[in-house]
Structure 1
Amino acid sequence: MSVENIPESYLKTKGNIPDLFVYDFKMTENLIKTKVNLNSHMFSFLQTGKKQVHFSDTSVLVDNSQSLLIKKGNCLWTELLDTDEIYYCKLLFFSDKKIKEFLQKHVKYNSEIQEAQSYFTIENDSYIDSYLNSLATIMAAPVAFMNTLLSVKFEELLLYLTNKYGEVFENYLKSLIEEETSPLKKTIEKNVYTSLSLEEIAFLCNMSLSTFKRHFIKEYKQSPGKWFRDKRLLRAKELLETSTIKVSDIYLDLGYNNLSNFSSAFKSKFGINPSEI
């Protein structure tokens, strides 16, 4: 699967990414786990459909009742249509420079900055609806005038969200421009029991699969394939022994494509079929 560089793939002309950029994303069929190299921070205002994003340490699923502020970096996007509607999402990209300008003008650095989370969830309301309508109007203006208005509208949005969410949102903005690292171990252990493949987890670590395997073995003294398989099978055994969950309800969540493969792996490790527990 190829990697999509965003917002570069949406720009009409090649070159530097603008400090502010609006794009209307529409589609007529589902896109599952698209590999995305997000090179700007981004507001995702979903209008129709559902959106799931997998990050290195967590995942989130939203519909049009919520919007997302997503930190730049590698992630996996799944975009789903509702019934027969066109999937539609208005995206607002912005640079570190625009955050710094806002913070210098409106926010005091008076608290300890926490490590940036991958996303911030925004509950949609009447303001967000009117804001999106105003963005649509701005995008029809001449370029020079549009850029000036967009800068004003971006500041307005951050002021509104700061007023709505207070210090929590302020601290999130501060954290976006702090230098940070994403340790390999943190990413791995956040995805032990997900259905993500090794290749997808390697991507979220910003590594090729071969590099990921090499670093994994150095950290865990074991191949990643066997390590994940053992962890997930032990988790399956625990769920089957301590709950009323059915075998057919867990194999997909633990990374197996079909029940037969899961049952064979389970029997190979524990000597019994999962249905016997």
Structure 2
Amino acid sequence: MPIENIPEIYIEDKEESPDLFVYDFKMTNDIVKSKVNLGMNMFSFLQVGKKQVHFAGTAVAVNKDQSLLLKKGNWLWTELLDTNATYYCKLFFFSDKKLKNFLDKYSEFQSIAKDGSPYFIIRNDAYITSYLNSLSTISEVPTVFMENLLAVKFEELMLYLLQKYGRKFEIYLHSLIVKEKSQFKKIVESQIDSNLKLEEIAFLCHMSLSTFKRYFIKEYNVSPGKWLQDKRLQKSKEILEQGDLKPSDIYLDFGYNNLSNFSTAFKNKFGFSPKEA
């Protein structure tokens, strides 16, 4: 299943990186399952059909009576047709910059951000219906006015949801802003026991491989390949010292293609072979 980078695939001018972006998603296929790299936080206003979104450790399903605010990240989602063989939702993407500006302006809290739920369910009501109609109306305005109009509509929506859901929504908005450094280290250090390649870890960090390497060296003062090798060899040594497993049982788990390469790297680091651990 190919990875879809959203909203990039919907933006016609690939040189642009808008802070606010609206896209009307429609389909008439039976079922669409998508592996998605969501690069911006996103409102998904479902109007016809059903949507299921799977995250790490949790999932959520909504119908046309509900909408979702989704945290940026890597998700798997399924869009199901309604009885009239149509699926339609309006997507409203917003950058961290716009969210931070809104919270600086309207939030009473300064430091309550925690890495919480990846979604917030919004109950569709008369206001949401009217709001979506207004978004459709402004889609026809000249591009030169669009940026300012979307900024006004974004603030209007956020203020409405803030008064509707209160502190629960405010705390959720803060949770969307996770410091890159802490999140980066959390992802990297969770992969010590895995056999993922650097390219795969970079994807989980939402970075290209070259960006990942530069950021890693800045944070750890060593190359990611060297750091991961040392951490994984140390972990493998601890496992072998327990006496329950042999080198041939574990080398694949620590990213080595064969036992010989594992044994050589192990001996270079510790001065003795894994059989002697």
Smaller-chain TM-score range?
Answer: 0.5 to 0.7
> What is the distance in 1 between the residues matched to 2:30 and 2:204?
25
Q: Secondary structure at the match of 2:204?
A: coil
**C-alpha separation in 1, matches of 2:189 and 2:78:** 24
Q: Give 1:111 shift.
A: 5.6
**Are residues 18 and 119 of structure 1, via their aligned partners in 2, closer, same or farther at CA, if it must alter by over 3 Å?**
same
Question: What residue number does 1:10 align with?
Answer: 10
What SS is found at the alignment partner of 1:163?
helix
Specify the alignment match of 1:115 in structure 2: 115
Q: Deviations over 1:103-144 (max 9, x none)?
A: 111112256322232111111100000000000011110112
Partner of 1:206: 204
**Residue number in structure 1 paired with 2:259:** none
Offset at residue 16 of structure 1 (A): 3.4
CA distance in 2, matches of 1:178, 1:95: 13
CA displacement at 1:184 relative to structure 2: 8.8
How far off its partner does 1:84 sit?
2.8
Equivalent AA in structure 2 for residue 206 of structure 1: L
In structure 1, distance between residues paired with 2:120 and 2:46 = 14
Q: What is aligned with 1:145?
A: 145
Matched, 1:69 2:73: no
Q: Name structure 1 gaps, 5 residues minimum.
A: 188-201, 208-213, 224-277
In structure 2, distance between residues paired with 1:19 and 1:57: 29
**TM-score for the superposition, normalised by structure 2:** 0.66
In structure 1, the partner of 2:48 is 48
Q: Which residue of 1 aligns with 2:274?
A: none
1:79 is matched with which residue? Answer: 79
Identity of aligned residues (%): 56
TM-score (norm 1): 0.66
Deviation of 1:13 after TM superposition, in Å, equals 1.3
Superposition map of 1:145-184 within 5 A: 145-179=145-179, 180-181=182-183
Residues 244-267 of structure 1 deviation map (CA, whole Å, 9 limit, x = unaligned):
xxxxxxxxxxxxxxxxxxxxxxxx
**Native 8 Å contact 2:113 2:177 kept in 1:** no
Mark the runs of 5 or more structure 2 residues left unpaired by the alignment.
192-199, 206-228, 240-248, 251-277
The count of residues paired between Structure 1 and Structure 2 equals: 205
- The amino acid of 1:152's aligned partner reads V
Corresponding residue SS for 1:84: coil
Runs of 4 or more, structure 1, over 4 Å off, are: 182-187
| Aligned residue in 1 for 2:103 | 103
Q: For 1:111 and 1:168, locate their aligned partners in 2 and report how far apart those are by CA, in whole Å.
A: 15
**SS of residue in 2 equivalent to 1:178:** coil
- Inter-CA distance 129–186: structure 2 relative to 1 (3 Å threshold): farther
Distance 1:37 1:170, change over 3 A: same
Q: Letter of the 2:164 partner, please give it.
A: K
1:48–1:85: 8 Å Cα contact kept in structure 2?
Answer: no
Contact between 2:3 and 2:35, CA under 8 Å: does it hold in 1?
yes
Greater Rg by CA: 2
Give the direction of change, closer, same or farther, for the CA distance of 1:45–1:84 in structure 2 (3 Å limit): same
